[in-house]
Structure 1
Amino acid sequence: MNILAWNYRGCGGLAIIRNIKSILHSTATKLAFLFEMKCNSAKANSIISSLPLRQSYVVSAQGHSGGLWLLWDDSIKLQVLEASSQFIFSTINDPSSATVWIFGGVYGDSHHGLDDVLWGRIRHYATGPIPFCYMGDFNAITSTFEKIGGLASSLSRWTIFSSRIGNAGLKDLGFAGPAFTWSNR
């Protein structure tokens, strides 16, 4: 199953909508987690109705920040377990594999004020009997190699993040492609 997790940084304009449609079509995505969409649920639902993935769950932005969209294909049986401004956790029953698993779309608080709540929920699902996969942006790094430019990140933040990954039994699956896919401006 092709899954897309994308920090989109806003949902305004027809060009952006065409871009989302193009990516979903060209990648044959069956499940998409789009975050930092920066729009309310009314606008989100209007846009989603024109996308190829018709099933959705939306967490509205708070003002001009945040906003999570979980989109999926009709062939997937998905049930949202819980959601907040930082996550959407769901069970997925993929008929092609006859497996039930937990998908967590994560968008961590960039100020780290809500980290304890987020990591409590991550550990809750990660220690259960059902296989799981989390995708998104934790807004944290484990080493200097994961960041270039901007304000320096503290060693204590890296240590805390690495410790939380280990305590939850998570494993970074790595990536293929450019090391840096985002740059501020």
Structure 2
Amino acid sequence: MNTLETPQTRNELQANRPQHKRTVECLLRIMSLLIWSWSPKIFSWNCQGAASKSFIRTAKWFISKYHPNIFCLVETKTSGCNADSLCAKLGFDKWARVEALGFSGGIWILWSNSVQIEVLHSHPQFVHMAITDQLGRFWNLSVVYGSPTLHLRRRLWSSLKRTKLHVNHPWLIAGDFNAIANDYECSSPSNPGNHKNADFRNWIFSEALLDLGFSGPNFTWRRGKEEGTFKGARLDRALCSLDWIDRMHDTKVTHLTAIGSDHSPILVEFDTKVKQGGNDFMFQGAWTRHRDFLDFTRQNWDKEGSVWQNKDTMAVKFKDWNRTVFGNIHYRKNNLLRRLDGIHKKMDQACHAGLVRLERKIKKELEDTLQQEEILWFQQAREDWIASGDRNTSFYHAATKCKKAKIGRHNFLDMVGIPW
């Protein structure tokens, strides 16, 4: 005896799908993007000229590898229509520029729609901005290109001040300062040349700024390949205000491999999570297909608290709910298939209304479980599209394996830092 779907049942299901789909999409957007998976990245690079043939190729490689939300270039040495044409080729939604003076200087700021940026002040040696991120937080960013000329660089320290710029939010300052703060930040501590000056250290002290440190090579600028001619210094860095440490969690600065320039780019990431064994948390899109998900979220979300206050609490509760209620998708699918096979064998012997109702219930649970499995593999594969109703999970298995293979492959670099 076959189970029939009546027109009334079909209409009820179709009427509920749009509302459920909108609810799921909203929750996925809020939780997956805003709370756990959005990790802002700021990329700052002294490219030493954007007019060369290799610049676009190198810049696009950096963008595809690190996916920055804000891409900052200094010493671009390019202005006018040519500069706008190059910015358009980099694939960002918006940009702002400080024109180069002849064939020197120039600051470009490019960003995606994941952040809102308002340029508050521009200067030949820095751009000061107000940022609103996806979590609704307000902060200030200043991108710096300190002049190589000492007396011009002194104008930077006198202009880049909290009182003059009216800084009233957490403040991040990043870029090429063309100066060092300590003797050990250059290859010749006894002869730091034009890079060391007391003005830089005094400015850091007077503005109550903190050095965010770094991981990677010690020097961000290198010149000369022979032992007698080699020079190196930490000219590029990221500094922050005291309230930045309190508001922006887990800020990390990395000195990247220098390609196409004497300067190493610096990557600033915050809201990063340090993985500790299996304790890291990731929101699972498949949870949204469970019948109790919405009620569980409403009951445990503190409406009086902020997103950040709810984040850690909800992570713990979701982990417990996943273990005690949601369970293992693959185990549940196999169990439902075995039960459905048993029901069909019973129906072949003697069918009755109770078996029909049980079969309908198991089929509905199996349909939900298959959708959850599809979402699980889709999320692990990190693909940008999915065909609704397609049960060919082998595609997602393959995509996930390819992703892992790419991650492994990019761990091997040749002598100039290009992945094999």
TM-score by length of 2: 0.41
Give how far 1:159 is off. 2.8
1:114 matched residue in structure 2: 152
Q: Distance in 2 between matches of 1:170 and 1:115?
A: 18
Q: Which moved more, 1:99-108 or 1:135-144?
A: 135-144
* Map 1:40-119 → 2, pairs under 5 A: 40-95=79-134, 97-119=135-157
CA distance in 2 between counterparts of 1:164 and 1:13 reads 35
Contact kept in structure 1, 2:115 and 2:133, CA below 8 Å: yes
Q: Return the letter of the residue paired with 2:139.
A: W
2: distance between equivalents of 1:154 and 1:47? Answer: 34
Amino acid paired to 1:136: G
Higher normalized contact order (CA 8 Å, seq sep 6+, divided by chain length): 1
Deviation, 1:102, is 0.6
| Aligned-partner SS, 1:49 | helix
Residue identity opposite 1:132 in structure 2? W
Alpha-carbon shift at residue 64 of structure 1 (Å): 1.3
Ranges in structure 2 where 5+ consecutive residues have no aligned partner: 1-39, 225-420
Aligned residue among 207, 213, 217 for 1:178: 217
Q: Which amino acid aligns with 2:152?
A: L
Q: CA deviation at 1:82?
A: 1.0
More strand by percentage: 1
Residue equivalent to 2:56: 17
CA distance in 2, matches of 1:9, 1:25: 20
Aligned-pair CA distance for 1:122:
2.4
How far is the alpha carbon of 1:76 from its aligned partner? 1.2
Tell me the TM-score normalized by structure 1.
0.89
Other-structure match for 2:42: 3
In 2, the alpha carbon distance for the partners of 1:178 and 1:119 equals: 27
The one-letter code sitting in structure 2 at the alignment partner of 1:85 is P
Query: Hey, what's the Cα distance between the residues in 2 that align with 1:147 and 1:131?
Result: 29
Runs of 4 or more above 6 Å deviation: none
For structure 1, list consecutive stretches of 5 or more residues without a partner in the other structure.
Answer: none
1:135 alignment partner, SS class? strand
Q: Looking at CA atoms only, which structure, 1 or 2, has the larger radius of gyration?
A: 2
Give the Cα separation in 2 of the matches to 1:81 and 1:151: 40
Cα drift, residue 68 of structure 1 = 0.6
When residues 150 and 36 of structure 1 are mapped into structure 2, their CA distance, relative to the original with a 3 A threshold, is farther
Residues matched between the structures, number:
184
Aligned-pair distance for 1:19? 0.9
1:151 offset after TM fit, Å? 9.5
The structure with the greater share of residues assigned to helix is: 2
Q: CA RMSD in A?
A: 2.4
Contact kept, 8 Å, 1:7 with 1:35, in 2: the verdict is yes
Tell me if structure 2 keeps the 8 A contact 1:48–1:54. no
Which position in structure 1 is the counterpart of 2:347?
A: none
**Structure 1 residue 75 displacement after superposition:** 2.1
- Per-residue CA deviation, residues 121-150 of structure 1 (Å, 9 max, x unaligned), is 322268732111000011111122111259
Q: How far apart in 2 are the matches of 1:132 and 1:101?
A: 6
